[in-house]
Structure 1
Amino acid sequence: MSERAYERHRCHFDTLDDEGHGLEWLPMAGDGRINGPIGAEPEVAWLSSDVFFDGLLDRFFEAVEGTPRLRWLQSAASGVDLEPYGRLLDRGVRLCNAHPTAIPIAEYVLRSVLDIFQDAGRWRAAQAEGRWEHHDFKEVWRTRWMVIGMGAIGTETARRARAFEAHVTGVRRYPTGDEPVDALISPAEVTVALPAADVVVLAAPATPETENLVGEGFLATMKPGAVLVNVARGKLVDDDALLRHLDRGHLSAAILDVFNTEPLDPDHPYWTHPRVVLTPHSSGGGTGRWDRGAELFCENLRRLLAGEPLLNEVTATQLPATDLPFTLGQHPR
């Protein structure tokens, strides 16, 4: 973990110390140096959220991949599309991911859709100009949502949309039976249900099967005036096809937090398109994610020490097979 994470969550680590586990903490400094006795090598590592944003990712992986004694890595992100993960699994290092950003991403989705439905920009413009101006707006009530990908993010999004009394259809390849949706379909059934959806939320991982999922055929099948939300990966969307459908007014809006190239090129049409809401891969930025990540790390560390099953353990079969969309220096959720 980083020095910053160690200091921020010191109370959690003090609790572990009070439990008598005999742990020695080795936080990583900003220059990649491990703080601790000379020659000390960590057996476990926590890839804390701040590492993704503080320019420490390369140094972090250099440190853990150069540690022969490492036996477990806890990531604070849900994505497992960083190349070093596969190398560590090949070495026999256990890997766990986390979903601390599912809550803020779901809140982002609801907030963004409400902004579109309520045409909130008109109120802001009227306020700026001192105009007392009413306008009607679309309610979430009784709208139909399709959430593609019912992992942690899709699940939290579905719960919140249903709280507004929307009808939610979830799309999942392997159902668990406890999805908080009104209907659950397989990927093969998407095109049948798609024309009824007022809102389509992409929350599926980037895989060879989902690359360019939202292409010409998908978009043409969508309901006229529908809203597309992508909080998954940019690779799921054919940008040229989406721009064509936005230009024609077939969709009322595209809410995009992820892109094929990040940072997005300064001259990309998305920046100025009137039907695009663009954010810089920031939908997971809720501050509660820090504590949720630390709590999971500590719980899994207890489990590791007790020889119990770990939460969110990742196997090699869950890693993307080809075309990894992220390299070191970028920050997946």
Structure 2
Amino acid sequence: MRYPASTPLMIYVHLPLENDDADYLRKRLGPETFNLGAESASEGEHRLALQADIILGNPPVEWLREATRLRWLQLKSAGFSEYTELQEADLPFTITNCTGLFGVPVAETALAGILSLLREIPTFVQDKYMQRWRGADIRPQLGKLTGSWVIILGSGSIGGTFRKLLSGFDCRIETMGRRGDADFYTRDELDARLPTADIVVAALPETEATVGLFDAQRLALLSPTCIFANVGRGSLVDETALLAQLQAGRLGGAVLDVTRQEPLPADDPLWRAPRTLLTQHSAGGAWDENRRIIDRFVDNLVRYRSGQPLKHVIELERGY
């Protein structure tokens, strides 16, 4: 549907924007009318959302069932698992997401975590507070990334960026993804490679095919020195089995940006798992995150106004 520039649109922004980012949004939108929410679920914001033609952000899914006026929802995230319970065929609005927007910071977080474990940075941080000097004693324990065999699960923005970041480390790299854009793509091929991998990085969406992919049997294929990083979705991993591998010293370490339950409960044993970094689903963050989301939205808004197809439209049933 085409909306000429003279037609007023009501835009509801469900984002916690600081003043500078709110000003940036106003400048980018120009004459468009918008109401700025605070990412809460108050009754006042609920009413504003129901009056909107367009929503920017991730509002409660219950609101969307009542949003009869809504024509387009631009999510602030790449993931949208909380919205999959909506019936796609019955939706009167299009949903777009921010896929690809977080590839660089997420890939950099994965790389930072892996290097930290290889070079024993967490140990040195603890030593600093304990005023403990190890000196030459720790040198034989230090690993290196250069020359490692790395398996990347996912050939999207995160996986592709991570592969580029490794270009200076002379690694042997293989990517598992969809047919045509990966080195291999079946579970049997994955299982054949896992025992000899030095590093496995998972950057997969949540789909029926990925939920529970790393169960106890598959985790047991990893070598005792392998570092496993999950920066995709927490549902990929059997965390009980992963914890058992870590506690038994049968895994070189884990970098987990995502977990099955978020926030992770204070009594969850993963907090105390050895050689484990928990980055608390923050990997996609950066100082300009909101501005990049705004730019994605405004670029699509131009397309919306001119009647062009929107970019980054999601399919709820496929999961991406």
For 1:33, the equivalent position in structure 2 comes to 44
Alpha carbons of 1:28 and 1:263: their partners in 2 closer, same or farther (altered >3 Å)?
A: closer
- Percent sequence identity is 26
* Structure 1 position 131, deviation (Å): 3.6
Are 2:145 and 2:171, in contact at CA under 8 Å, matched by a contact in 1? yes
Write the distance in 1 (CA, Å) between the matches of 2:15 and 2:281. Answer: 25
Query: RMSD of the TM alignment (CA)?
Result: 2.9
Deviations 1:130-165 (A, max 9, x none): 648255332211111111122222222222123433
Which residue of 131, 135, 138 corresponds with 1:133?
135
Give unpaired runs (5+ residues) of structure 2.
1-12
User: Is this contact kept in 2: 1:148–1:202, CA < 8 A?
Assistant: yes
1:233 is aligned to: 233
Residue in structure 2 matched with residue 323 of structure 1 by the alignment? none
Hey, what's the Cα distance between the residues in 1 that align with 2:25 and 2:44?
Answer: 23
TM-score, normalised via structure 1 length:
0.79
Over 3 Å counting, the alpha-carbon distance change for 1:42 and 1:267 in structure 2 is: closer
Q: Of 145, 149, 153, which aligns to 2:154? A: 149
Q: CA deviation at 1:248?
A: 2.6
* Mapped contact 1:171–1:190 kept (Cα < 8 A): yes
Query: Is 2:257–2:280's contact at 8 Å kept on the other side of the alignment?
Result: yes
- Could you tell me how far 1:23 is from its partner in structure 2? 2.4
Tell me: CA distance 1:132–1:39, structure 2 relative to 1, closer, same or farther (3 Å). closer
3-state SS, counterpart of residue 220 of structure 2: helix
Could you tell me which of 6, 27, 47 is aligned with 1:14? 27
Residue 279 of structure 1 deviates from its aligned partner by: 3.1
For the residue of structure 2 that corresponds to 1:225, the secondary structure is coil
Partner of 1:311: 311
Aligned to 2:7: none
Q: Distance in 2 between matches of 1:35 and 1:278?
A: 34
- What is the letter of the counterpart of residue 102 of structure 2? T
Q: 1:83 to 1:267 in 2, by over 3 A?
A: same
Change (3 A) 1:43 1:84: farther
Work out the CA distance in 2 between the residues paired with 1:286 and 1:294. Answer: 14
Asked if structure 2 preserves the Cα contact closer than 8 Å seen for 1:43 and 1:70, the reply is yes
For 1:9 and 1:175, the matched residues in 2 are separated by 41
Whether contact under 8 Å (2:76, 2:293) holds in the other structure is: yes
Q: 1:206 aligns to what?
A: 206
CA contact (8 A) 1:86 1:319 kept: no
Give the Å deviation of 1:25.
1.7
Judging changes above 3 Å, is the alpha-carbon distance between structure 1 residues 196 and 260 closer, same or farther for their aligned structure 2 residues? same
Cα distance change of structure 1 residues 316 and 40 upon mapping to structure 2, 3 Å threshold:
closer
CA distances 1:286-325 after superposition (whole Å, capped 9, x unpaired): 22221111100000000111122222111243238xxxxx
* Aligned counterparts, 1:228-307, within 5 A: 228-307=228-307
Match of 2:52 among 19, 35, 42: 42
Q: Does 1:23 align with 2:26?
A: no
Name the residue aligned to 2:108.
Answer: 107
Partner in structure 1 of residue 17 of structure 2? 5
Using the size of structure 2 for normalisation, the TM-score is 0.82
In structure 1, the residue corresponding to 2:164 is in which secondary structure? Answer: helix
2:180 is matched with 175
Query: What 5-or-longer segments of structure 1 have no aligned partner?
Result: 52-56, 177-182, 321-333
Q: 1-side partners of 2:284 and 2:128: how far apart?
A: 29
How do 1:78-117 and structure 2 match up within 5 A? 78-83=78-83, 86-87=86-87, 90-99=90-99, 100-117=101-118
Compared CA separation, residues 13 and 164, structure 1 to 2 (3 A)? farther
1: CA distance, partners of 2:122 / 2:96: 41
Distance in 2, matches of 1:82 and 1:302, equals 27
Across the two proteins, how many residue pairs are aligned to each other? 299
CA separation of 1:66 and 1:166: change in aligned 2, threshold 3 A:
same
Question: Aligned letter for 2:17?
Answer: A
Aligned-residue offset at 1:125 = 4.1
Change (3 A) 1:84 1:200: closer
In structure 2, the CA distance between the partners of 1:13 and 1:64, relative to structure 1 (3 Å rule), is farther
Q: Partners in 2 of 1:70 and 1:268 — Cα distance?
A: 40
How far the C-alpha of 1:269 sits from its partner, in A, is 2.0
Task: Give the whole-Å Cα distance in 2 for the aligned partners of 1:85 and 1:152.
Answer: 26
Distance, in Å, in 2 between the alignment partners of 1:185 and 1:303 is 36
